[in-house]
Chains A and B, each alone.
Chain A
Amino acid sequence: KNQVEQSPQSLIILEGKNCTLQCNYTVSPFSNLRWYKQDTGRGPVSLTIMTFSENTKSNGRYTATLDADTKQSSLHITASQLSDSASYICVVSPGGFKTIFGAGTRLFVKA
């Protein structure tokens, strides 16, 4: 069964600290993996996309990694800011018309 699992479910960090969010998937075949950021009351916005041949992708202070062999991805946030408080959703596409969403990690950044 195609599934995307994210951990932790929620996370609280202090402003300025780094953090890493995890995404494990059992989706097969694999086309690409995206990380989305969803601010409260808003729709998700794409942060990064990685295909099978890519193992790292950066977008400012966000760096995503992909290990296609172990079917794991992580999103690393450097020097967190209050505006990073949001849900981060991992989305995997097996190709075709399908996309499988994870439940998300809720990040709270405290001053």
Chain B
Amino acid sequence: EAGVAQSPRYKIIEKRQSVAFWCNPISGHATLYWYQQILGQGPKLLIQFQNNGVVDDSQLPKDRFSAERLKGVDSTLKIQPAKLEDSAVYLCASSSVAGGHGEQFFGPGTRLTVL
């Protein structure tokens, strides 16, 4: 069974530029999560989808971050414009269980550096 795929693995941009990350969850997993993980900290949930609907985006900085999962499968997270403090690893995870109690399967992450 293929795992969660993410691309790119690494991205370096200058502040005020835009960037997009892509995630393809495990086939059949209805729940998809995007996390931001700053060095030395645990993952922080940005947005959670159930199929193509948003379940929780309370910690998503909506003035600059956006995410979509149009067909209920793969997803894109965008930052526009980027700030220095956005430097982090962006993790995508998926789960076959609706709700937060199921095991989450994580992708390798995208490491973003904002200069």
Contact = CB atoms under 8 A, between A and B. Distances in A.
Interface of A: 31-32, 34, 41-46, 49, 89, 93-99, 101-104, 106
Nearest to B92: A43
Contact of B99 (A34, A49, A89, A97): A97
A93 B40 CA distance: 22
Contacts of B67: none
Interface centre among A34, A99, A102 (most CB of B within 10 A): A99
Interface string B37-76: 0001111110010100001100000000000000000000
By secondary structure, the A interface counts as strand
Interface of B: 4, 40-45, 48, 50, 55-56, 91, 93, 98-101, 103-104, 106-109
Given A98-B100, A101-B44, 19 more contacts: A31-B100, A31-B101, A41-B108, A42-B109, A43-B93, A43-B106, A43-B107, A44-B43, A89-B43, A93-B99, A96-B100, A97-B55, A97-B99, A97-B100, A99-B100, A101-B43, A102-B42, A103-B42, A104-B41
